Structure 1
Amino acid sequence: MNRPIPAAAASRGQVLLPMLFIGLMFFVLGFVTWLNGSLIPFLKLVCDLNNFQALWVTFAFYIAYTVMALPSAAILGRIGYKNGMSLGLAVMALGALLFIPAAQSRHYGVFLAARFTLASGMTLMQTAINPYIVCIGPRESAAMRISIMGLFNKGAGIIVPLVFSALVLSGVGQYSDAALAALDEAGREALRVELSARLLRPYLVMAGALALFTAIIHFSALREPVLDEGRDEPARVQRGVFQFPQVVLGALALFAYVGVEVIAGDTIGLYGQQLGVPNFAVLTSYTMGFMVLGYLLGVLCIPRLLSQRAALLLSALAGLLCTAGVTLASKSSTGLSLALLGWAGVPPVPDTVMFLALLGLANALVWPAIWPLALDGLGRYTASGSALLIMGIAGGALLPMGYGRLADTGQAQAAYWLLLPCYGFILFYALIGHRLRRWGKPAG
């Protein structure tokens, strides 16, 4: 039986091995999560959907975090963190297998059920690995450790659109709305059958890889973390985790954050497609690339040069500025991308698309900063607090749907104003919300 790791006394070796395993799982989570950005325009074509309908992919995926977060906390309480990680990977493998009947039937509901199942397994994993990475070392450097995990997660986000484009989306760029309209009904149906069949092999491979990772984690030397029991007052024992405003407001901040992160990563392909960007299928990689840059800055600067609170504050301000850029910048000029990425030979994109990609940089340190700030002082309520924070991921289900509705009924570029109040709340949490220890009273 694996011995637990005391949070405050973990040695360098005791921290390094768990971080390697957790890094592997963050890579897996990133690979599955950021498939959405490429899958949405693909299923829009295969299932003949509009923007709002296509974004049900994000709803089905992220709503699982709300539905399954509290059950996940209960499961972790019974079987432990390590076994919870293994079970989460096994459920993800089942979700990948569900893509086989989905691709064969081309029924949109089956695709959504498959994404929900994948996300249910991911919810269990997220509920386990985020407090795990916070508790295995000093709290003041937790955001740095989560930033390292973010490199694995968003590194996968860079790779996924490229792999998916090579395996599944080859030649799809030629099938514009006008090109499809020129085909007769039989031609469109034949095209959709052929495209859907391309999903079979990749998801079979994914299911096999997830099964392998399940075995690796199950037989690994990962130890259970020992959570700081903290000081529990009788009133707090009775009222539970909702007595802690820093975690409740943290969950709301994560709701806003995940919503804007998903909009930046998953709608950029749709937006680029509408603007006629030739490489729209890989635009998620632009956003993920800037997120990786942000995580690197977090690893280098936190806590030596930048506190977790300061990182969150700067991220919120950068998000507000980039949102203004997305909504006001030119849809024809490519000067910004040429200035930033032209030296690397990256294909240029319109300035408004580049500002949307730059939101990846603004978003990178929000998740790493909120988790340690929100879990501070929870003691025995850490697992429940983690589940509450995971429920905030529902922002990735609801806010993109709001964007999709606005984009269909109005102008896609103007619909990005939806991001402003989200970054405004993150700014509030950075300034005030994280300091509250009793409702209405900041920490002394």
Structure 2
Amino acid sequence: MPTKVSNALPIAIIGGLFFIFGFVTWLNGSLIPFLQIACELNHMEAYLVTMAFYIAYTVFALPMAAILKRTGYKNGMMLGLLLMAVGALIFIPAAEFRTYSIFLIALFVLASGLTILQTAANPYIVLLGDKDKAAMRISIMGFLNKGAGFLAPLVFTALVLSDMSQFSEAYLATLSPEAKAQALSELSSRLVMPYIIMAIVLSALAALIKFSPLPELEAESDSDDEAQDSWAILGHPKLIFGVFALFFYVGVEVVAGDTIGLFGKEMGVANFGQLTAYTMAFMMLGYVLGMICIPRVISQENALVASALLGLVLTTLLLSADTTSYSVWNSLLAWTGITALPNVVLYVAALGLANALVWPAIWPMALDGLGKLTSIGSALLIMSISGGAIMPMVYGALVESSGNSQSSYWIMLPCYLVILWYAVYGHKIARWSKSKAIAKHV
């Protein structure tokens, strides 16, 4: 087992990868309102961004796990970065031709590269040290991930969304079809240079990983018969239930992070392109609390319970809030000097705090005791990221059918209830048979 000192550099390198995860992933929150304008989309069409991005995790998680068995964690991470670079390059023809289908292909390829990175990096950080401190390590990774998610919309706004007044619906309606098409093409072309830079950076990082001193880690040993039979993974209910809990968690996380831009735009928030940064800021606060408190003050299990309960409370407040009131911001955050948000938008952002510790708590709980089945278990957990593809689409369908973006957030209530059930009961189920159903706490 590596010493704590020798783990410092590998943790720093993996931390850099989690920063990349966050930057690329949380650009979607700004891309959605941007592409809605540039490609003239409705809600359902706009949220195809999340569908194309997150469905890649379901399609490729198991194949990527097979690749990792051949390449090892280190080479797998390098391949993931190169595939992401290819996806970034596909944005260039998508932007030049202002073709939404090519944008979706680019997002799918980009997310496919992220899939192999996530499949390698998440179990890697779990195995890189003491098991009871795994949630704390993942909290550190999550802080870096959401820190990048905080910066991404700000950078995107500065590079791409400046001077958006000339692309307002009212202004575009006054233009001739030819002038409108020219204006939207100019807007779309703003994506070219940022994604060229992204492709260069990702390729450089792939070379860095190739020649870095990352050690290859082995999962804890298990019986040879079980390790050779991938179907044995189905005999671990705490993992299977963890997959479902993560599915709904990623769903609410993406709804909170990626719908807030369009929602804020409808609520009249001027800086709607930056609103994902608000959600990420609350998530960063949650990760800081996780790093400080887990496991010294609160256990992983209790942190998950608290997160689910907070999510239920905030969602209830969101559903009942007055859309014209700024009272919460004026009472608690006026001192920041930042442009105020209406309560209803602030509650969506604050869900970031409720969501922050769910991922780092579920991973070690779900992977506990898998031994050499850890890689296949990790792949199944990565597949649950498809919740980020499905739940925003469900939300978009509710908005289109009801015409009310605020009331459509009710879809998050059952999601948090599933997470609460896993935190209280589901993670304790060690075997399907009743006699061994509840694992004893040591």
TM bracket, shorter-chain basis: over 0.9
SS at match of 2:7: helix
- Residues 388-423 of structure 1: per-residue CA shift (max 9 Å, x gap): 000000000000000011112211100000000000
Residues in 1 aligned to 2:205 and 2:395: alpha-carbon distance in whole angstroms: 35
RMSD: 1.3
How do 1:207-246 and structure 2 match up within 5 A?
207-231=199-223, 237=229, 239-246=231-238
1:316 corresponds to which of 308, 311, 330: 308
1:91/1:118 contact within 8 Å kept: yes
Correspondence for 1:189 = 181
Alignment match of 1:168 (pick from 138, 160, 175): 160
Match of 2:406 in 1: 413
Partner Cα separation in structure 1 for residue 227 and residue 72 of structure 2: 27
Change (3 A) 1:74 1:108: same
| C-alpha distance in structure 1 between counterparts of 2:295 and 2:230, whole Å | 35
Q: Distance between the aligned counterparts of 2:378 and 2:142, measured in 1?
A: 17
Superposed displacement of residue 432, structure 1: 0.7
Partner residue in 1 for 2:248 = 256
Contact 2:51 2:388 in 1 (8 A): yes
Mapped partners of 1:320, 1:225: distance in 2: 38
Give deviations 1:133-190, integer Å, cap 9, x for gaps.
Answer: 0001111110000000011100001101110000000111453323322322122111
Which residue of structure 1 aligns with residue 21 of structure 2? 29
Letter in 2 for 1:177: E
Deviation, 1:239, is 3.4
- The TM-score, its normalising length taken from structure 2, stands at 0.97
Q: Does 1:424 align with 2:417?
A: yes
Equivalent residue in structure 2 for 1:282, among 261, 274, 282: 274
Query: Cα distance 1:205–1:140, how it changes in 2: closer, same or farther (>3 A)?
Result: same
Alignment match, 1:76: 68
- Relative distance call for 1:235 and 1:33 in structure 2 (3 A) is closer
User: 1:84-117 CA deviation, whole Å, 9 max, x = no partner?
Assistant: 0000000000000000011111111100000000
Q: Does 1:438 align with 2:434?
A: no
TM-score by length of 1: 0.96
In 1, the alpha carbon distance for the partners of 2:231 and 2:91 equals 42
User: Taking structure 1 as reference, are residues 187 and 11 closer, same or farther at Cα in structure 2, changes over 3 Å only?
Assistant: same
Check the 8 A contact 1:264/1:359 in 2, yes or no: yes
Aligned-partner Cα distance in 1 for 2:335–2:134: 35
**Structure 2: distance between partners of 1:177 and 1:437:** 55
- Residue type of the alignment partner of 2:416: Y
What pairs with 1:110-189 in structure 2 (closer than 5 Å)?
Answer: 110-173=102-165, 175-189=167-181
- SS of the residue aligned with 1:277? coil
Relative to 1, partners in 2 of residues 1:173 and 1:366: Cα closer, same or farther, differing over 3 Å? farther
In 2 relative to 1, CA 276–234 (structure 1 residues): closer, same or farther, beyond 3 Å? closer
For structure 2, the 5+ residue unaligned runs are none
C-alpha deviation, 1:238, in angstroms? 6.9
Q: CA deviation at 1:235?
A: 11
Deviations along 1:286-334, whole A, 9 cap, x unmatched? 0000000000000000000010000100000000001111111111111
Kept after mapping to 2: 8 A contact 1:173/1:278: no
**Residue type of the alignment partner of 1:347:** T
Aligned twin of 1:100: 92
Amino acid at match of 1:414: S
The separation in 2 between residues aligned to 1:187 and 1:21, in whole angstroms, is 48
Distance in 1 between residues matched to 2:348 and 2:179, nearest whole Å: 35
SS of 2:430's equivalent in the other structure is: strand
Structure 2 counterparts to residues 292-331 of structure 1, below 5 A: 292-331=284-323
Aligned length, in residue pairs: 436
Q: Residue in 2 aligned with 1:6?
A: none
* Equivalent residue for 1:19, pick from 2, 11, 15: 11
In structure 2, distance between residues paired with 1:270 and 1:154: 20
